[in-house]
Amino acid sequence: MPGFERTYTVRWADMDPNGHMRHSAYTDYAAQHRIEYLSEHGFTLPFFAKTGLGPILFREDTRFLKELHINEQLRVTGELSGLSEDGSRWNIIHTLYKPDGRPAATVAVEGAWLDLRARKLTVPPAEIAALMRDLPRHASYQDIIRETR
């Protein structure tokens, strides 16, 4: 399956006083990429509000490799680096690319699905679990083995 990618333009609001993209903007673009992936497949914010389900993060790790500057085109990809059998836990590595194709940063996230009403971790609907399985696999992919208590 071809990967899901998006291209954005680095905005004025993304800049820091040093003249390059501020550190938190990298994670903003990775988050936007995840939400667009879900939304493009029918899992929109109104869907999540209606079902009381939401994605949450446990960890986010950004590696900065090259500077990005205002008005540069920024290509973002996402690859699955881990998934539990039931789809309840997932890891994604986003790569943000400069216009010349060089990686500018990677954003690795570890997340899960939250029942927003019960405020507890939950298993997503089968369609969401299948969608997560459809993401391309990162070279570092490993199944997530859930502990049973």
> Per-residue pLDDT for 146 more than 80?
no
pLDDT score of 1: 33
Query: Where does the pLDDT of residue 3 fall: very low under 50, low under 70, confident under 90, or very high at 90 and above?
Result: confident
For residue 149, pLDDT over 80 is answered with no
- Residue with tokens 């943000």, as numbered in its chain: 96
Strand 53-64 vs strand 103-115: parallel, antiparallel, or unpaired? antiparallel
Q: To which residue do tokens 């996402």 refer?
A: 78
User: Going along the chain, which residue ranges are E strands?
Assistant: 5-9, 53-64, 73-84, 89-97, 103-115, 120-122, 137-144
Q: What CATH class is the domain 5-143?
A: alpha beta
Could you state, in order of their start, the residue ranges of all structural domains in the chain? 5-143
Question: Which candidate, 68, 89, 55, places its Cα nearest to that of 9?
Answer: 68
